[in-house]
């Protein structure tokens, strides 16, 4: 009996596929929230001619979470 017939997939391939799906899902989740807060709520675009407190908070939050996302990807694929 073939060793892959019972499980259906090689364990290494399953681990790799899980990494890929995790990378895509977390990236899309991050982009969704950045678009939500930035464009839908209007925090990314200065509306009164200059930067507002919400604009500064948004861009600091965006940079910090992007750094965290890159760190997460690095640790995931290490």
For the chain (78 residues), the mean pLDDT of every run of 10, in chain order, is 65 94 98 94 86 92 98 97
Residue spans of the domains in the chain: they are 30-78
Residue 1, pLDDT score: 47
Identify the helix (H) or strand (E) that includes residue 59.
helix 53-77
Mapped onto helix, strand or coil, the DSSP state of residue 44 is: coil
Tokens 């940079």, residue located: 63
pLDDT at 36: 94
């Amino acid at each position: 009996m073939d060793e892959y017939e019972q499980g259906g997939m090689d364990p290494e391939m399953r681990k790799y596929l899980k990494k890929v799906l995790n990378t895509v899902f977390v990236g899309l989740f991050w982009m969704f929230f950045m678009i939500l807060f930035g464009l839908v709520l209007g925090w990314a675009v200065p509306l009164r001619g200059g930067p507002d407190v919400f604009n500064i908070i948004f861009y600091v939050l965006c940079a910090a979470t992007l750094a965290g996302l890159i760190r997460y990807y690095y640790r995931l694929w290490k």
